[in-house]
């Protein structure tokens, strides 16, 4: 039985150990992310991205390093699909297409030999 009385809040240390906060956004567990952004991840998403999908992780880092939304883009509307979000997504898609084309080219070259 607990020594915490009715209406009292448990100590913070107890809350941290008992509450399942796996969906909580926390600081990244990995390093090497571009400066100029505030990062957070849930359930070690950054670790999973780096370990399971290193090429896509590299694409994301490269896209973040190159990306600079303009003031006009930030001021414009668009809901969840603003101009700068679409431009960022398109830059990632172009990297994925480029990687896929390079992979396909390598396979085709290997088959010709």
pLDDT, tens digit, 9 for 90 and up, residues 51-107: 999 999 999 999 999 999 899 988 887 777 888 889 999 999 998 877 655 444 444
Question: What pTM did the predictor assign?
Answer: 0.64
Question: In whole angstroms, what is the distance from residue 61 CA to residue 51 CA?
Answer: 14
Asked if 43 and 22 touch (Cβ cutoff 8 Å), the reply is yes
Token duo for residue 41? 């991840």
Q: How confident is the model at residue 1 (pLDDT cuts 50, 70, 90)?
A: very low
**What ranges do the domains of the chain cover?**
21-53, 67-113
Q: How far is CA 113 from CA 26, 99, 100, 107, in A?
A: 50, 22, 21, 10
Question: In whole angstroms, what is the distance from residue 64 CA to residue 42 CA?
Answer: 19
């Amino acid at each position: 039985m607990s020594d915490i009385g009715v209406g009292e809040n448990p100590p913070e240390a107890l809350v941290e150990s008992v509450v399942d906060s796996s969906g909580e956004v926390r600081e990244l567990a990995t390093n090497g992310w571009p400066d100029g952004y505030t990062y957070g991840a849930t359930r070690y998403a950054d670790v999973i991205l780096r370990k399971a999908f290193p090429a896509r992780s590299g694409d994301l880092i490269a896209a973040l390093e190159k990306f600079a939304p303009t003031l006009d883009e930030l001021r414009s509307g668009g809901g969840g699909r603003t101009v700068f979000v679409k431009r960022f997504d398109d830059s990632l898609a172009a990297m994925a297409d480029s990687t896929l084309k390079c992979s396909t080219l390598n396979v085709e070259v290997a088959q010709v030999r």
